[in-house]
């Protein structure tokens, strides 16, 4: 296991009706002038936004509203939010929504306290300072409720990039599984896929002797395989939603990624798809993961065979571990399809003729030097082959 520092000070408040504590939590974490940031329409329609507003009013916390965050959140609204926070002297941002809303809130939080262009943080500058952020999560997926990350798409060039820094970890996150019961099945499934991808991106490691985190990841993957189909069959199953919601947080606050190298090539490859086609991130991952895993499998066949046996219940073929490894990848692919995810480029809405542009943006966009690196290093030719495997 490698050396690490793990600092994750988020207060998680989990369970039914916990959104009613939003006002008192903001007070506890020092907020008095709040920006409530939310998405398109779901939080308004469900009445959640009204409940949150009343919770703040009850505590005498003043607030401004900024809605309209779209999935794959854009830089334009972040700039608007920064301006608003400075003008209104906002001291706390409350994100009510999914990963897109939370990421947009984090970008505004960092940008408000920074003199330069907030995009600097999305091209490598670490976030050291940000306004405090709290969240009321409405979809189990991105894990932004516990992560130090934010992913934003710059409208000029449609670059989708991430920023990072412990200052971006939310002060508190309210996780009420019942709030996710209004999700359309497709979004629920995209969330499940994203959570599993976060686990796999950590499982694909070059670090040795990392049994504790290997086992945590395997346990969380097994949970998703068990609970995923239950929630697709019965969207109102609170217990399945509760297990998925907590697994989604644990998958990405890095408690199971510490002390080991990680991959993230699949996420980088997918981010170009959701940047170009505005598809759901999880749906893009369902198509990306099987292709990437098949392509890089030979780098460490035993790691894929181990996942196949421990997670997917395959029998180990000791003479031909690559057969076991492939069987595990195929079972994963079929699982994604079984919960309603797309199987290929066409179903995702992607086009073969765009592959050169995707590869260029992936390998050269925003300062990259012709390749991406993680579990293995992938150059332009590798990335082109991987996109073609998704056809
Ligand atoms: O905008 P509204 O109307 O709220 O609709 C949203 C949106 O259309 C809807 N939705 C959310 N909660 C709902 C609901 N509909 C009904 N009932 C509810 N309870 O779902 C749609 C998707 O929402 P979004 O926030 O985009 O989903 P998700 O949480 O999957 O976030 C995706 C974004 O997170 C980024 C992705 O790249 C993508 O941009 N990621 C962020 C990470 C991080 N910050 O750590 C890591 C991830 O790997 C990921 O890259
Ligand atoms: Zn993700």
Q: Distance, CA 358 to ligand 1 centroid (Å)? A: 22
Task: Find, among 295, 332, 300, the residue nearest to 313 by Cα.
Answer: 332
pLDDT tens by residue, 196-254: 999 999 999 999 999 999 999 999 999 999 999 999 999 999 999 999 999 999 999 99
Pairing of strands 159-164, 149-154: antiparallel
- Lining residues, ligand 1, CB within 6 Å: 39-43, 71-72, 97-101, 103, 138-139, 141-144, 147, 149-151, 179-180, 182-183, 187, 191, 194, 252, 267, 281-282
In three-state secondary structure terms, 94 is: strand
pLDDT of res. 367: 79
Instruction: For ligand 1, pick from 97, 155, 159, 189 the residue to mutate: most ligand atoms within 8 Å of CB.
Output: 97
pLDDT of res. 332: 98
Atom nearest to 181 CA in ligand 1: 19
Q: Distance, CA 100 to ligand 2 centroid (Å)? A: 11
Nearest CA to ligand 1 atom 43: 144
pLDDT tens by residue, 155-196: 998 888 999 999 999 999 999 999 999 999 999 999 999 999
pLDDT at 287 over 90: yes
CA-to-CA dists, residue 65 to 35, 56, 88, 211, angstroms? 6, 12, 11, 46
DSSP secondary structure string, 14-71? ESTTGGGGHHHHHHHTT-SEEEEEE-SSHHHHTSHHHHHHHHHHHTT-EEEEE--PPS
Contacts of 320 (CB under 8 A, 6+ apart): none
Nearest CA to ligand 1 atom 15: 183
Nearest CA to ligand 1 atom 28: 99
Q: Residues for the chain: how many in total?
A: 391
Q: What structural domains and CATH numbers belong to the chain?
A: 11-179 (3.40.50.1970), 184-389 (1.20.1090.10)
Q: Distance, CA 138 to ligand 1 centroid (Å)? A: 8
Nearest CA to ligand 1 atom 26: 71
pLDDT at 46 over 80: yes
Q: Stretch 30-39: mean pLDDT, rounded?
A: 98
Instruction: For ligand 1, pick from 235, 281, 374 the residue to mutate: most ligand atoms within 8 Å of CB.
Output: 281
Residue 174 in contact with residue 18, Cβ under 8 Å? yes
Taking the C-alpha atoms of residue 73 and residue 274, their distance in angstroms, rounded to an integer, is: 11
pLDDT of res. 157: 85
| Residue spans of beta strands (DSSP E) within 27-181 | 33-38, 62-66, 92-97, 133-137, 149-154, 159-164, 172-175
pLDDT of res. 36: 98
Percent of the chain whose predicted confidence (pLDDT) is above 70: 100
Atom nearest to 45 CA in ligand 1: 3
pLDDT tens by residue, 343-376: 999 999 999 999 999 999 999 987 789 999 999 9
Average pLDDT over the chain reads 97
Nearest CA to ligand 1 atom 16: 183
Pairing of strands 133-137, 33-38: unpaired
């Amino acid at each position: 296991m490698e050396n690490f520092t793990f600092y994750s000070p988020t207060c998680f408040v989990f369970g039914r009706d916990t959104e009613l504590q939003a006002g008192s939590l903001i007070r506890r974490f020092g907020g008095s002038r709040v920006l409530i940031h939310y998405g398109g329409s779901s939080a308004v329609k469900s009445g959640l936004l009204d409940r949150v507003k009343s919770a703040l009013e009850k505590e005498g916390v003043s607030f401004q509203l900024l809605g309209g965050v779209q999935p794959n959140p854009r830089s334009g609204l972040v700039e608007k939010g920064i301006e608003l926070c400075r003008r209104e002297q906002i001291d706390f941002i409350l994100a009510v929504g999914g990963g897109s809303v939370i990421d947009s809130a984090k970008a505004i939080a960092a940008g408000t306290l920074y003199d330069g262009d907030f995009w600097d943080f999305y091209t490598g500058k670490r976030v050291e300072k940000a306004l405090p952020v709290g969240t009321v999560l409405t979809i189990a997926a991105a894990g932004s409720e516990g992560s130090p990350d934010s992913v934003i798409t710059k409208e000029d060039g449609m670059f989708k990039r991430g920023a990072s820094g412990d200052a971006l970890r939310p002060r508190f996150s309210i996780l009420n599984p019942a709030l996710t019961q209004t999700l359309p099945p497709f979004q629920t499934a995209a969330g499940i896929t994203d959570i599993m991808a976060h686990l796999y991106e950590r499982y694909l490691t070059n670090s040795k002797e990392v049994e504790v985190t290997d086992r945590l990841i395997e346990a969380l993957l097994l949970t998703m395989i068990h609970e995923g189909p239950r929630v697709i069959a019965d969207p109102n199953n609170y217990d399945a939603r509760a297990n998925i919601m907590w697994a989604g947080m644990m998958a990405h606050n890095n408690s199971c990624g510490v002390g080991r190298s990680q991959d993230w090539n699949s996420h980088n490859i997918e981010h170009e798809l959701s940047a170009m086609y505005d598809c759901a991130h999880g749906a893009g991952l369902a198509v990306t993961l099987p292709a990437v895993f098949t392509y890089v499998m030979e780098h460490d066949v035993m790691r894929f065979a181990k996942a196949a046996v421990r997670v997917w219940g395959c029998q180990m073929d000791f003479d031909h571990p690559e057969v076991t490894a492939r069987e595990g990848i195929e079972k994963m692919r079929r699982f994604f399809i079984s919960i309603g995810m797309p199987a290929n480029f066409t179903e995702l809405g992607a086009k073969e003729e765009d592959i050169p542009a995707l590869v260029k943006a992936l390998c050269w966009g925003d300062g990259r030097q012709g390749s991406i690196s993680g579990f293995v290093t992938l150059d332009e030719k590798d990335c082109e082959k991987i996109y073609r495997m998704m056809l």
